[in-house]
Amino acid sequence: MKIENFNINRRHFLKGATASAVLSSFGLYGFDLIYREKPWRVGLIGCGWYGTSDLFKLIQVADVEVVSICDVDKNFLEEDASLIAQRQKSGKKPRMYNDYRKMLAEGDLELVLIGSPDHWHALQGIEAMKAGAHVYLQKPISVDVMEGEALVAAAQKYNRVVQIGTQRKSTPHLIDAKEQVVDAGLLGKISHVEMCCYFHMRANGNPPLQEVPEFLDYEMWTGPAPLRPYDGIPHRRWWRTFMEYGNGIMGDMCVHMLDTVRWMLDLGWPETIVSTGGIYVQKDGKSNISDTQSAIFEYPELNCVWQHRSWGTPADPEYPWSFKLFGEKGTLAGSTMQADFVPYGDGKPIHFDVLYEKEQYPEDLEEKDNELNAAPATRRHMIDWLAAIEQNKKPVADIMNGHISTASCILANLSMEAGGRPLIYDPEKKVVVGDPEVTAKLKRPYRDPWQHPFG
């Protein structure tokens, strides 16, 4: 059965005395899902947009009990608790926490989903693993390279399964494109890749300073990051426009496409990374992330080129956030919405369309800000994560691959900051070869009293 026709349904999870449900017939990843006598005990850190969306997808495909949730925003907590009670079978509201450390100290969670801003991912991911939980961690996994190294080490030390939210690897039409075009050899030798994002997603506002509202613990929200003067609710996506909390469009959007290309072509660490760019057009707002940036991730006889602009028009309106694999026999373009193979010379074009599951999951239509095109991929990502836990194997988006994709994007930013000089990262020695200045920036300083998890 083709991936496009695969519909996840909880009826497929066998009940009674049957030991396992074989899901390979659905064409997913060929795993067995072990029957459980009790629901998975789940916690969520970060009750904003994507954390909640991820949790709802997990509830749709697995028998879970959401035991506890954590957020520094009381309004987010209350809203999420009510929605979760409506969604989960028990009808119970989860316990609510302001501090993730107190939530994890209860020691009663098997699974923890982390949907907080990027500057929290490493600390919260590591603490969740220490507390005995397997982790679903949103991308990028870190804001500096050494945080990523610490996460990889923690997953190994505590023997935890970590699935990263780079769900393009579980996107049905991209799985089909990989199998039918790349793996089938229709592209021939691939020696050039282009990746891009032309979304106007960079906030350019100049809001005035204001009092921190009573419902928000701004000190805890900021955590190890620099404490910016408060100028509005940062966790409603305003944080994404500041390098204090993330890595700009490179760390937000390139990480998805680079990770997808690496998966499709079976690539590891780039040999060399170089990037240039800056704030060229959108100079009026407070934002300090680049509005224009190019990067090259160099592999043997293959260069992977990234370009983003948060202004102007996309180079290809059909593929404004995408990758394109250029082979001697043809080209494969892919995005979250579609994929197209165009042969060079003789051959037949192949189109792959996005899969929606609105009929099977009508609640998708009721979810606020839900990305309908990503929902089927996230559901499959969740099932793959649970299967990996039960079989004690790597999930499709394991922590090491999440680290390589994240760190490569961080290194691109460091190259841009260093005037566009090429960087070579040595993952064994954990240094930028021959560049002590950039090596010193692989680990960001933390705000007291927070301690960096590496070293």
Q: What is the mean pLDDT of each run of 10 residues along the chain (455 residues)?
A: 37 32 35 69 94 96 97 96 95 97 98 97 98 98 98 98 97 98 98 98 93 97 97 88 97 98 98 98 96 98 98 98 98 98 94 95 89 95 97 96 98 98 98 98 98 94
Q: What is the pLDDT of residue 47?
A: 94
- Options 3.40.50.1260, 3.40.50.720, 3.40.1190.20, 3.40.50.300; which CATH number does 3-167+376-399 get? 3.40.50.720
Q: What is the pLDDT of residue 282?
A: 97
Q: Count helices and strands (H / E) in the chain.
A: 12, 18
Same fold, 3-167+376-399 and 170-205+237-356+402-439: no
Q: What is the pLDDT of residue 20?
A: 33
Looking at residue 264, its amino acid is: M
User: 228-245 burial, b if ≥16 CB within 10 A, otherwise e?
Assistant: eebeebbbeebbbbbbbb
Q: What is the pLDDT of residues 273-306, one digit of tens each?
A: 999 999 999 999 999 999 999 999 999 999 999 9
Q: Choose among 346, 343, 367, 380: nearest CA to 173.
A: 380
Q: What is the pLDDT of residue 235?
A: 80
Secondary structure class of 263 (helix, strand, coil): helix
| Tokens coding 246 | 């993330």
Q: What is the pLDDT of residues 338-349, one digit of tens each?
A: 999 999 988 899
Secondary structure class of 73 (helix, strand, coil): strand
Q: Are strands 111-114 and 95-97 parallel, antiparallel or unpaired?
A: unpaired
Q: What is the pLDDT of residue 237?
A: 83
Q: What is the pLDDT of residue 34?
A: 52
Domain range summary for the chain, segments of one domain joined by + = 3-167+376-399, 170-205+237-356+402-439
| Tokens coding 78 | 């209350």
Q: Choose among 337, 408, 343: nearest CA to 168.
A: 337
376 alpha carbon, distance to own chain's centre: 15
Quote the pTM value.
0.93
CATH 3.40.50.2000 fits 170-205+237-356+402-439, yes or no: no
Helix residue ranges, H only, 29-109: 49-61, 74-87, 100-105
Q: What is the CA radius of gyration of the chain?
A: 22
83 alpha carbon, distance to own chain's centre: 23
